[in-house]
Amino acid sequence: MSSIRDANAYAKVGVESGILAASPHQRIVMLFDSYQASIRLARLHLQAGNIAEKGNAITKAINIVNQGLRASLSLEHGGDIAMQLDQLYDYVVRVLLRANLNNDETALTTAADLLNNVAAAWLAIGSQIEEER
C-alpha cells in the first residue's frame, strides 16, 4: 500500500516540478490540456452513470477556466483579444454548468470544442516563440 502512496507522491512532485519549471506559455498549454482531460473524464463518468464523479470533473474544468485561463488574462493590457477571450471563457463556464445540471453530453462536447481552437492557436504561438529563440 505504501508503494502506491509513494508513487502518487512522486507523480505529484513531478507535476509540481513541471509547473514550476514551465514558462508562462507552457503553463497555459498545461491548463488547456488539463481542461480537455477533465472534460473527457466527465464524459466517461456521465456515460457510466457516476454522477458525483461527473460533477467533480466538470467542477475541475470550470475551475481551470475561471481560476487558470480567465485569471491569466490582462484585461487592462490585452485589448480586444483579452476581452473576447474573457467573454468566451464566461460562455464556456455557462455551457459546463448546463452540462452538469442536465447531464448533457452534447454540452460537454460543445465546451471541449469551444476551447480547442484557442488551445491550437496558443500552441502555434508557442512554436513561433521557440523558433525566435
- Its CATH class, for the domain covering 25-132, is mainly alpha
Q: What are 30-66's pLDDT values in tens digits?
A: 899 999 999 999 999 999 999 999 999 999 999 999 9
Q: What are 69-116's pLDDT values in tens digits?
A: 999 898 888 899 999 999 999 999 999 999 999 999 999 999 999 999
Contact (CB, 8 A) for 69 and 28: yes
The residue ranges of every structural domain in the chain are 25-132
